Amino acid sequence: MDGGNQSIVSEFVLLGLGHSWDLQLLLFMIFLTLYLVIVTGNTVIMTLIITDPHLHSPMYFFLANLSFVDMWLSSNTTPKMIADFLRENKTISFAGCMSQIFFSHFIAGLEMVILVIMAYDRYVAICKPLHYSTVMSLHRCMWLVVAAWTVGFVHAMSQIVVIVKLPFCGPRKIDSFFCDRPLVINLACMDSHKLKVLMNVDCGVVAITCFILLLISYTYILLTICQNSKTGASKALSTCTAHITVVVLFFGPCIFIYVWPLNITWMDKFLAVFYSVFTPLLNPAIYTLRNKEMKNAIKRFRSYYMDFKGNN
């Protein structure tokens, strides 16, 4: 490890998702379209929540944060992947590679905690409605978000401070479209088995802790819903179903990529694409299509825009 502080490898070669030029063009058009939809969809959600007074509540405050993180999640790797579809030599600098690893774990840890906070918010709203305004005050909501960013940053630092010091002296080919942490560790000029186990444990502690907290929250929520009247239970269940769907979509690929590695190249690539592209794409759709308040906010925004346009 001492001799590895000065890396001989200055850049890595990304093998991408395919080798055929026709396939590359097709993937370029598909992922460019998906990325534009991701940015547009999440921007619309954040804009609606910021501008619509009806959405100025803790639940939508956390949803705005989730939309921002989702957009950041996709932007960490997708633009580079899209640009590489049109390049013959798909290289990434050592610093760029380390940045992708750092931000992928920063965002993952941050989003996990935000999902836990959103579950806690729904738990208080459904199980302790009389205390909701006191418990979920603006001050506490701000501190919860700060805590989420802190956990994400600490988790990312625990990964990158080890990886950046590894001795990389070749080979330098990464069989993926971004610098995936397990694949980068495999390129180190050392026996990395124990290190990979340690890093997986680090990821596992964060992921499993958040998953258990989510499980506890939604168990209490569902038990409370079963005891409530049908009208209130139906609305609460609709909201929680959207949350649970997002949790499954996010944690599923994470568990298979980092906590329970499959070591199947095509499966790892599929899960990585699903995690970085389809999860940020589906989240806005789930929260807008299944949420009555969001749909009403879109109608109000459209009506306001049409009135403004008509007056001018």
Sequence-separated (6 or more) residues with CB below 8 Å from residue 180? 101, 174, 257, 268, 272
Whether 301 is covered by a domain: the verdict is: no
Whether 15 is covered by a domain: the verdict is: yes
Whether 47 is covered by a domain: the verdict is: yes
Q: What is the pLDDT of residues 38-71, one digit of tens each?
A: 999 899 899 989 988 888 999 899 999 999 999 9
Total domains in the chain come to: 1
Q: What are phi and psi of 175, to 5 degrees?
A: -80, 65
As a whole number of angstroms, the distance between CA 213 and CA 228 comes to 23
Whether 160 is covered by a domain: the verdict is: yes
The pTM of this model reads: 0.86
Whether 18 is covered by a domain: the verdict is: yes
Q: What string of DSSP letters covers 1-40?
A: -GGGSS-S--EEEE--S---HHHHHHHHHHHHHHHHHHHH
**Tens-binned pLDDT, residue by residue, of the chain (312 aa):** 444 444 577 889 998 887 788 888 999 999 999 999 999 989 989 998 998 888 899 989 999 999 999 999 999 999 999 999 988 888 999 999 999 999 999 999 999 999 999 999 989 988 888 889 899 999 999 999 999 999 999 999 999 999 998 888 877 888 888 998 888 988 888 888 888 888 888 888 888 899 889 889 888 888 887 776 555 556 666 667 777 778 887 777 776 666 555 565 667 777 788 888 888 888 777 777 667 788 788 788 777 766 666 666
Sequence-separated (6 or more) residues with CB below 8 Å from residue 96? 80, 179
Judge whether 188 and 171 are in contact, CB under 8 Å. Answer: no
Residue 150 CA, chain-centre distance (Å), reads: 16
As a whole number of angstroms, the distance between CA 288 and CA 60 comes to 11
Per the DSSP assignment, residues forming a β-bridge with 188 are 168
Whether 298 is covered by a domain: the verdict is: no
pLDDT of residue 4: 44
Whether 305 is covered by a domain: the verdict is: no
Long-range contacts, stretch 238-243, CB < 8 angstroms, 24+ apart: 238/290, 239/59, 239/122, 239/291, 240/122, 240/126, 241/290, 242/286, 242/287, 242/290, 242/291, 243/115, 243/118, 243/119, 243/122, 243/218
Q: Which domain holds residue 265?
A: 2-287
Judge whether 94 and 157 are in contact, CB under 8 Å. Answer: no
Q: What is the pLDDT of residues 234-285, one digit of tens each?
A: 666 666 777 777 888 777 777 666 655 556 566 777 778 888 888 888 877 7
Whether 25 is covered by a domain: the verdict is: yes
As a whole number of angstroms, the distance between CA 8 and CA 23 comes to 33
Q: What CATH number corresponds to the domain at position 205?
A: 1.20.1070.10
Among candidates 164, 154, 165, 168, which has minimal Cα distance to 202?
Answer: 154
